[in-house]
Amino acid sequence: MRAPPCSATREGAHVLIDTYGRVATDLRVSLTDRCNLRCTYCMPEEGLQWLAKPDLLTDDEIVRLIDIAVTSLGIEEVRFTGGEPLLRPGLVGIVERVAALRPRPQMSLTTNGIGLRRTAAALKSAGLDRVNVSLDTLRPDVFKTLTRRDRHKDVLEGLEAAREAGLTPVKVNSVLMPGLNEDEAPDLLAWAVEHDYELRFIEQMPLDAQHGWKREGMITAGDILTSLRTRFELTPEGDEARGSAPAERWLVDGGPHRVGVIASVTRPFCSACDRTRLTADGQVRTCLFATEETDLRAALRSGAPDEEVARLWRLAMWGKKAGAGLDDPGFVQPDRPMSAIGG
C-alpha cells in the first residue's frame, strides 16, 4: 500500500485522508465496553465478557491520543461513546483536559442517559458541549422489554438535566423494532418537539452481539417517514445543509424543530463519511463495519513518539474502504458488537 500523503491543513496539522479523498475530522472515542442496559439489538440478556482493565486505555492514554488527533491530524470534533461512557470513572476529568487542548475540539457524548441527572452539570462545567441520548420508546413497559432494565424514568430525568445544564441541542436517538415500538414514531416526534429535543431515528444495524440481525422485517427510513407524515408535514433540508452528517433532516411543520433519520442500511452515506473511531482498548477503526483494526495502544505502551502514532493513524485511514458493504453478497458482520467499538 502506498503511504498516505501529508497534505497540510490548519496550523501545520496533517489530515486523515483516504484514497477516495475523504478527510476525517470527527473522532469517536469509546471509553468503555460496559453498559448498564441490555438492549435487545445490542447484547444478550446475560451481557458480554468485558474487556479486562489492563486492556483498556488509561485516562492519560485517551487524552494523549485525542491530543495527537487534534493537534497533528486535523480532528475538529470528538464524540465520547461506549458502551455507556458515564460508567467511566474519569470521564469529567477527560472532558476537562480535552477542553484545554488548542485548537479546542467540539465535544459531545452519546449516552443512555441513566447517569445524566447526577453528571450533566459537572460535564457542562468541564467543557462538554452537548449530548445524544438513546431513548427508543415513551412507554415504560416497552422500555423494560427492549433494555431488560426498569430505568425509563431515569432516562427522562437525565434528558431534563442535560437540557437544564445547557448541553444543547439535546439529541435523542431512537431505534424502532418490529413488534415492539414500530408504531411510536409520531408520538416520539410530538414529545421531542414539546420538550425541545432534536429527535433522530436510526435504522437497526448489523452490530448486535448475537448476530441475529436480519434485513427482512427491519423498520426502514421509508417506513419511518411514512409514519411521521401521517401527523406532520416534513420539509427536507437538503444535501447542502446536511454536509457530512449521518442524519438526513427534515423541518417539522415548517420549523424550527427538526427530525433526522440515519439510514445506514437503506440509504448509506459512506461517500461523505468524515469519521475515525477509537475503541476502548486503543484500536483505530475506519468504519463501524470494519473487520480490521490498527493497534495504537501497543504503540503507546512501547514508547512510540507522537509522530509515530500519528503516522500509524494516517496509514490506517488511508486504507479505509469505499463503503460499509452491507449490500455486498460477501458482507461479514464484525465480530465486535456495537458496545465494544462505540457508536
* Binding-site residue set for GTP: 28, 79, 110, 171, 275-277
The C-alpha cell at 134 is 438513546
Tell me what the pLDDT averaged over the chain comes to.
91
**CA-to-CA distance for 150 and 141, rounded, in angstroms?**
8
**CA-to-CA distance for 198 and 236, rounded, in angstroms?**
15
pLDDT tens per residue, range 317-334: 999 999 987 877 777 777
| pLDDT recorded at residue 207 | 62
Q: Name which of 123, 116, 64 is nearest 91 in CA terms.
A: 123
* Binding-site residue set for [4Fe-4S] cluster: 35, 39, 42, 270, 273, 287
Q: What is the pTM of this model?
A: 0.93
More confident residue, 217 or 66: 66
pLDDT tens per residue, range 103-149: 999 999 999 999 999 999 999 999 999 999 999 999 999 999 999 99
* Binding-site residue set: 28, 35, 39, 41-42, 79, 83, 110, 134, 171, 205, 270, 273, 275-277, 287
* Binding-site residue set for S-adenosyl-L-methionine: 41, 83, 134, 205
In 135-257, the DSSP E strands lie at 171-174, 198-202, 234-236, 248-252
pLDDT tens per residue, range 53-110: 999 999 999 999 999 999 999 999 999 999 999 999 999 999 999 999 999 999 999 9
Distances (CA, A) of 40 to 126, 187, 208, 289, 297: 33, 22, 8, 19, 31
